[in-house]
Amino acid sequence: MCETFNAWILVARHKTDMTMLEEIRVKMMERIEKLREFADTWMCDISPIAIKVYQDNMAQSIRCTIKWNGEYCYEVEDTSLRVILKHCVNMQTHTCTCMSWMLKGIPCAHAIAAMHFKNIEPINYISHWYHKFTYLKAYSTFIQHVPNMQMWPTSINPPIEPPPIKKMSDRPKKKRKREETEHPKSGKLSRREKDVEKEAEEEEQLLLELQLQLLLPILLLAEEEELEEELVEVVEEELEVLGLDSFNQSGGGKLRVISHGGEKRSSADIHECAYKPTSGVK
């Protein structure tokens, strides 16, 4: 209930004390009036939600068989499910072994079947919690109207001065304090998750640079040895995926490499690579 109320006053709770209390008072006054007017839409003296539950139980009671002990107790067999369930209804204590009648205050399907067996009207056994009289009694208190703040009478008591303002080192906190067992809402990454994501990107970039160092000598030797065009095309496709341009014809047949950092290198820097194949390529 506290969480629901905090979400209901979400706009007002960030304002000053007097403004916040005034907006909450107006919201409560309007809500009580709307709930009081809702009772005028009822078709009978019982709430619509209770009537809906009562009608569902009434439909289920058709598939129940009754065995009466001759006093106040009834043995009811419920055949609405695949497994036949047997319940005991006590009309004197208004109880049933299915526990639904005691928990909801509305006769269950087994109790309704027992009442029909004795020609009793089940709707009269619905608890007074769902009656219109009880509902209106809950909202019988009115919140009185209040004039504008400038029209309030002036107090003869000395004014209450606010405490001295102490400037904090950080900006004012507007979020409420969460409980120890409450999990934060998803949608934003924490600082630790951002660091982990950044480390993964750096590792991926290092892996791409290592693959560049391994593929550049193979492509250079393929050009010098005049290998088949299919091998050259396959290697060039791999280099394009890794960020390497194709042969630069205007640059004298040299390779032009564009790394992820923006630095350009030519085929003259191939000797700096860590891997140089010397055999197996013809």
- For 75-118, write each residue's pLDDT tens digit: 998 887 777 888 999 998 999 999 999 999 999 999 999 999 98
Contact indicator for 74, 67 with CB cutoff of 8 Å: yes
* Assigned token pair, 2: 């506290």
Confidence at residue 258, expressed as pLDDT on a 0 to 100 scale = 43
Instruction: Give the pLDDT band (50/70/90) at residue 153.
Output: confident
User: Mean pLDDT over residues 112-125, rounded?
Assistant: 91
Q: How far apart are the first and last CA of the chain?
A: 79
* Assigned token pair, 215: 């593929």
- 171 pLDDT more than 70: yes
* Distance, CA of 191 to CA of 173 (rounded, Å): 19
pLDDT tens digits along 197-241: 788 888 888 888 887 777 777 666 665 555 555 555 666 666 666
Give the H/E segment covering residue 132.
helix 132-138
Q: Is the pTM of this model over 0.75?
A: no
Contact indicator for 130, 50 with CB cutoff of 8 Å: yes
